[in-house]
Structure formats: C-alpha cells, structure tokens
Amino acid sequence: MSQEVAAIYTGILEQVVRLEKSKKELSKQILISKDKKKKLELVYNFLGFELNKHELFEQAAVIALNNREKFIISHLGCLYEPFGNGELIDKIRQEIGYTKRYMQVTERAKSERESISFTERRMVQEISKYVLAQCRIYMQLHI
C-alpha cells in the first residue's frame, strides 16, 4: 500500500473516530432529553454526524478504488457488509441517500411541524426510534 493512500485513510479513520465520539456525547443528550422539539433537533444533529461519516467513507472508497488498494477496499467492505450485496461505492452512496432523506424529513418536521403529512409524521417517529436505538448502543460502547 502506498504511504500517501495509507496516510489519507488513517486521517479519514481519525475523523470518523472523532465523529463517533461526538455521536456518543450526543446520544447521552438525546436519551435524557424530554422536550420533543429539542430531541428532534438532537436527532437531526445525530443524523448529520452519520452523514459526515458515510461521506468520509465514500472519499476513502473512491481513493482506494482509484489506487487499487485492496486492503482498504476490503476493510471498508467489512464495514458495509451488513448493508447488503453490491458494489462498495453503491452501498455507501445508498446509505448517504437514506441519511439525507431522513434529515430532510426531520428538518421539515422541525420547521413545519403543523403542515407535515401523516406519512411524514410517522416517518419522523420511526427515524427517532432508529436513532434512539443507536443511542442506546453508543452508550454501551467504550469509545
């Protein structure tokens, strides 16, 4: 593996670790928050950290694929294995798309609470449940 690519990948992993630590800190706030409006804002921020993580991994995947770095491709492949079959870059971009959509709906619920549809309200509930489940997992981790 070339040293330049290794250095870039290490830098990306360090950024991801910082994001994960931020998500853990935010998880604590989400779990203790009682105010629905504040909790929705925190959920949105959590999703923002998740989006940043996927975008960093997308950058790493593009660099690894362009430089034919099998170790990095394999490592990223292991991280995205639970997301189904297919090409690595497609799986990462699919996760980016899902996260952006979750953020859009959450943003709309924050700013236009009265005018969102039943489906959007239901989607926000499910997104919040998903994030709460993630928060509980983060609180068990020792990052």
What pTM was estimated for this model as a whole? Answer: 0.92
For the chain, 143 residues long, give each residue's pLDDT as a single digit of tens: 788 999 999 999 999 999 999 999 999 999 999 999 999 999 999 999 999 999 999 999 999 999 999 999 999 999 998 877 789 999 999 999 999 999 999 999 998 888 899 999 999 999 999 999 999 999 998 77
Which amino acid, one-letter code, is at 86?
G
Tokens of 21: 């630590």
Q: What percentage of the chain exceeds 90 in pLDDT?
A: 86
Task: Please tell me the number of Cα atoms within 13 Å of 7 on its side-chain side.
Answer: 3
Quickly list DSSP for 14-47.
HHHHHHHHHHHHHHHHHHH---HHHHHHHHHHHH
